[in-house]
Amino acid sequence: MTTVLVVDDQPLQRYGFRMLLDSVPGTEVVGEAAHGTEAVRKAAELRPDVVLMDVRMPGVDGIEATRRIVATGGRSRVLVLTTFDLDEYVHAALRAGASGFLLKDARPEELLAGIRAVAAGDAVIAPALTRRLLHEFARLVPPGGDGSDGDPRLGALTDREREILVAIGQGWTNSEIAARFVLSESTVKTHVGRVLSKIGARDRIQAVIFAYDHGLARPQAG
């Protein structure tokens, strides 16, 4: 059973999400919150698998609430919902530790799949927007080094793991990485898991941030 805390300042939105999620076997809404402060409190009390987080709310917004929830080191992962594909807040939300974001106009099956993926420890970005988001992310991040800044986490990576990290930073999927390096997808998955562990990243999105911060990734042209 995947448990979900729904956070949105609009009662009708919360009702709609609850109706959808509670109608699906294996998913249960364990609580609702109308603002960030309430979200942080209920996440601590209810320990849901996933916090479905709105961004724009009065008082403590979704970004600060995400930061506080992630900072506790608890089990809950945050999936941010945003209205615009390159919302100015998305970059900050990912920095705060969100495990991904989807658009509010996502189809029900996309939302459900995203919740399951985040609950399983994966990162989720609206598929059509991944590389656009990475380009925007790179624009907002201060220029990094060449990947040789002495960070011991980089030194712990093998040459292959470093290549995998670069590929993750470019937004490649496991299947794309497998094709590029002539590996099986199961082998790629193993490599990705080791990379995340060695650099201390919760998920793939945090690995992307790490790659950009250390100058290992740049937006691709086009």
DSSP three-state, residue 53? strand
- Residue range 99-144, pLDDT digits in tens: 888 888 888 998 998 899 888 877 777 655 555 666 666 565 555 5
Examine the pLDDT at 221 and tell me if it is beyond 50.
no
The pLDDT-based confidence of 98 (bands split at 50, 70, 90) is confident
Joined tokens for residue 123? 């990162």
Q: Give the tens place of pLDDT for each residue, 43-55.
A: 999 999 999 999 8
User: Greater confidence, 61 or 219?
Assistant: 61
Higher pLDDT, 28 or 88: 28
Instruction: Name the pLDDT band for 222 (thresholds 50, 70, 90).
Output: very low
Q: List pLDDT tens digits, range 147-164.
A: 555 688 988 999 999 999
pLDDT at 206: 81
The string of pLDDT tens digits covering residues 73-93 is 888 999 998 776 555 666 777
C-alpha angle with apex 152: 149 to 158, nearest 5 degrees? 100
| CB distance 188 to 178 below 8 Å | yes
Phi and psi angles of residue 79, each rounded to the nearest 5 degrees, phi first = -115, 115
Which residues make Cβ contacts (< 8 Å) with residue 90, sequence separation at least 6?
55, 80, 82, 101, 133, 136
3-state secondary structure of 172: coil
